[in-house]
């Protein structure tokens, strides 16, 4: 039985998969290769880049017009900026891949070429290899952006130096594959003590192609392969939830399906359909286990260029000008959506980001869920917010400073507090984004056969309190209506300087324009 793949390239005999070549603009790639172009294929991690390159290699070799070799040069990353040792690793990997394809020229000659040319051996090896090859060479170089500094510069410049000799004495076409476009590389050369743009080091690039996420139809087609082979169906709501939560990110689609179909209660009985409850539980398990894909993404939050984009998204701040390179970088990582409005790419990432930023603080809170549960099993949200209000007054200045993302510090502190309490029996859903002017939280709490839903909306006060309250009441009421929530709370964080805490702290109830009663909390 096949299964959903969450690690490494897809193998159609083993994995449910969308044929990799169907995800490429194959006509464009053929044209670029035919016209002897060097180009870039980039996409976020675990999107399917390597699977696509391997499928392209097999297609080109089967057609017998080119000699196509795939090589992954990530192993040279460990050599850092030791260019000579990195070139030894790269040439050795080229030779190994060539040997596996039945090509003996490079395996027999690379060591002697390296001994003669040292750090410059890559260009000479590719020249001799192309001259000896019976057909034009096409090279697919994977994980190019794993290299750094002078090593990366050396590879790019040696490829550029031989460009004018193609195809008789250099590869006809070279495809560089990585997370980012080569133009976005900012390469620090230790030997020259300067930074060099990747675009200038590799100005022979003809095009930059991006491998996208699954479309909705592709995601559903992938999931339906499991149904066709096992008879186990996904409910329509479950299919919709997988799409909504992942927005087609390939690893997330596969991981959610793998968790539910092979490790959940439904996995034990294929007669049971996959439901939204199973999908929701699978999502929580992936987050709690800090799966490598999610952990790598979360690790990027420590970078200043990521913080500059993500922090105002978390705070719901107004539109602002960002550095183009910062925005391109977080989009290349797959952390932020490609289109407008500026937002986290999908709801799972949107859940991971604040939980990752507040994880340590959650562990330090000593509040217990049982303190805020009524005798009938309902959650005491008023008591919960009262406790947080007291805590925020006494400790917020110290705790907010502990966040790297201080602009969003108050919202993150509230989310950490709620996560600690609510996650033991219910869940929190979040909505935030640049220009929204607020952060929306939805508490979902099981209560017997019923489910309690409570909206908590957070706003930052900078100028006029009454205007902020009026605006917040309508926004909260609108969110309550959309979520069919039983109760709503508007939390206003007063960030104005030189304000006394007695003036900031309050709790009252007011009605929105359509008569919905909402608790308002000043902090």
State yes or no: pLDDT of 187 exceeds 80: no
pLDDT for position 493: 95
What H or E segment, with its residue span, contains residue 30? helix 26-34
pLDDT tier for residue 198 given thresholds of 50, 70 and 90: low
What is the maximum span of the chain, computed from C-alpha positions, in angstroms?
83
State yes or no: pLDDT of 189 exceeds 90: no
State yes or no: pLDDT of 208 exceeds 90: yes
Concatenated DSSP letters of 327-354: HHHHHHTTSB-SSSSP-BSSHHHHHHHH
Residue 82's Cβ-side half-sphere holds a number of Cα atoms within 13 Å equal to 9
pLDDT for position 470: 94
Report the candidate in 217, 318, 234, 314 with the shortest Cα–Cα distance to residue 282. 234
Using CA of residue 143, residue 147, residue 153, residue 157, what is the dihedral sign?
negative
pLDDT for position 372: 93
| 422-454 per-position pLDDT tens digit | 988 899 999 887 767 788 999 999 987 889 999
pLDDT for position 193: 67
d(CA 222, CA 225): 5
Mean pLDDT of 151-163: 95
| 14-50 per-position pLDDT tens digit | 999 999 999 999 999 999 999 999 999 999 999 999 9
d(CA 297, CA 300): 5
Higher pLDDT, 187 or 109: 109
Higher pLDDT, 359 or 485: 485
pLDDT for position 144: 95
d(CA 168, CA 364): 65
Give 48's DSSP letter. S
Q: Bridge-partner residues for 28, per DSSP?
A: none
Give 104's DSSP letter. -
Residue 484: CB atoms within 10 Å: 7
Strands 137-142, 194-197: pairing is unpaired
| 259-274 per-position pLDDT tens digit | 999 998 878 888 889 9
Mean pLDDT of 381-407: 89
Using CA of residue 286, residue 289, residue 291, residue 295, what is the dihedral sign?
positive
pLDDT tier for residue 494 given thresholds of 50, 70 and 90: very high
| 499-512 per-position pLDDT tens digit | 899 999 999 999 99
State yes or no: pLDDT of 487 exceeds 80: yes
72-76, 79-83, 218-222, 339-343, range with the lowest pLDDT: 339-343
pLDDT for position 392: 93
């Amino acid at each position: 039985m096949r299964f959903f793949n969450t690690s490494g390239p897809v193998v159609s005999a083993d994995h449910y998969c969308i044929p990799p070549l169907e995800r490429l603009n194959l006509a464009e790639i053929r044209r670029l290769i035919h016209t002897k172009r060097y180009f870039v294929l980039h996409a976020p991690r675990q999107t399917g880049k390597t699977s696509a390159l391997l499928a392209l290699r097999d297609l080109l070799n089967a057609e017998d017009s080119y000699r196509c070799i795939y090589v992954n040069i990530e192993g040279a990353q460990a050599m850092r900026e030791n260019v000579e040792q990195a070139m030894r690793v790269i040439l050795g990997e080229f030779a190994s891949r060539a040997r596996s394809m039945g090509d003996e020229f490079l395996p027999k000659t690379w060591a002697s070429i390296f001994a003669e040319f040292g750090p410059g051996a890559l260009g000479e090896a590719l020249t001799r290899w192309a001259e000896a090859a019976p057909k034009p060479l096409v090279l697919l170089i994977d994980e190019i952006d794993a290299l750094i500094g002078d090593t990366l510069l050396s590879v790019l410049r040696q490829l550029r130096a031989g460009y004018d000799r193609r195809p008789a004495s250099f590869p006809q076409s070279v495809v560089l594959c990585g997370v980012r476009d080569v133009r976005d590389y900012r390469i620090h050369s230790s030997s020259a003590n300067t930074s060099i743009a990747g675009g200038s080091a590799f100005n022979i690039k003809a095009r930059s192609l991006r491998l996208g996420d699954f479309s909705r139809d592709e995601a559903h087609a992938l999931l339906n392969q499991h149904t066709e082979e096992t008879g186990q169906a996904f409910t329509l709501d479950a299919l919709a939830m997988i799409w909504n939560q992942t927005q087609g990110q390939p690893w997330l689609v596969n991981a959610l399906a793998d968790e539910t179909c092979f490790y959940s209660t439904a996995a034990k009985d294929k007669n049971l359909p996959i439901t939204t409850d199973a999908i929701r539980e699978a999502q929580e398990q992936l987050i709690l286990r800090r799966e490598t894909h999610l952990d790598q993404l979360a690790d990027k939050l420590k970078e200043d260029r990521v913080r500059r984009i993500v922090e105002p998204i978390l705070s719901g701040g107004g539109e602002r000008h960002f550095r183009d390179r910062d925005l391109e970088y977080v989009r290349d990582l797959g952390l932020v959506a490609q289109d407008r409005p500026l937002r986290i790419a999908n709801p799972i990432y949107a859940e991971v980001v604040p939980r990752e930023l507040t994880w340590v603080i959650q562990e330090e809170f000593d509040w217990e869920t049982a303190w805020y549960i009524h005798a009938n099993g309902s959650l005491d949200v008023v008591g919960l917010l009262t406790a947080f209000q007291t805590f925020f007054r006494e400790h917020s200045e110290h705790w907010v400073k502990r966040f790297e993302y201080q602009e969003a510090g108050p919202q993150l502190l509230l989310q950490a507090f709620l996560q600690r309490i609510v996650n033991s029996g219910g869940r929190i859903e979040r909505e935030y984004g640049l220009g929204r002017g607020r952060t929306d939280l939805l508490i979902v709490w099981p209560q017997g056969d019923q489910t309690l839903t409570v909206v908590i909306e957070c706003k930052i006060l900078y100028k006029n309190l009454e205007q902020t309250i009026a605006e917040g009441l309508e926004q909260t009421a609108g969110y309550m209506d959309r979520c069919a929530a039983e109760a709503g709370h508007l939390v206003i964080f007063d960030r104005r300087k030189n304000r006394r805490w007695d003036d900031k702290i309050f709790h009252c109830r007011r009605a929105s324009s359509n008569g919905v009663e909402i608790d308002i909390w000043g902090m």
